Amino acid sequence: MAFDSFSAFIAMEGHGPYVWTCYGVFFVLMVGLMAWSRRRRSATMAACRRNYERQERGQQRAARPAATFTRVEVSQD
C-alpha cells in the first residue's frame, strides 16, 4: 500500500487513530512488562541472597545436627 504523503500515512484512510492507538498501547504495555519483570527479578535475587546468607550464618553458628535418630531393633517372633 503506497501513500501520497506522510499525513496520508498517519491518517491511513480513516483507520489511523485505531492503528496508532493499538501501537501505542502495545508499546506502553511492553515497557510496563519489562519494568515489572526487572523489579520482580531484583526482588527474587535479593530474597535468594538473604536466604543464602541466612543459611551460611546458621551453619557457622552450630555444627550440631538438627535431630538425632536411634536405631530400633524389631524382633519377629
pLDDT confidence tier of residue 37, bands split at 50, 70 and 90: very high
Q: What 3-state DSSP class applies to 71? A: coil
- Residue 69 within any structural domain of the chain: no
All three cell numbers of 11, joined, read 491518517
pLDDT for residue 71:
77
All three cell numbers of 13, joined, read 484512510
What one-letter code names the amino acid at 38? R
pLDDT exceeds 60 at position 19: yes
All three cell numbers of 29, joined, read 504495555
- Residue 32 within any structural domain of the chain: yes
> Mean pLDDT in the chain?
87
User: How many domains, in total, are found in the chain?
Assistant: 1
More confident position, 68 or 27: 27
Residue 52 lies in domain: 22-59
Confirm if 4 and 10 have CB atoms less than 8 A apart.
Answer: no
pLDDT for residue 73:
81
Confirm if 21 and 29 have CB atoms less than 8 A apart.
Answer: no
pTM over 0.85: no
pLDDT exceeds 60 at position 46: yes
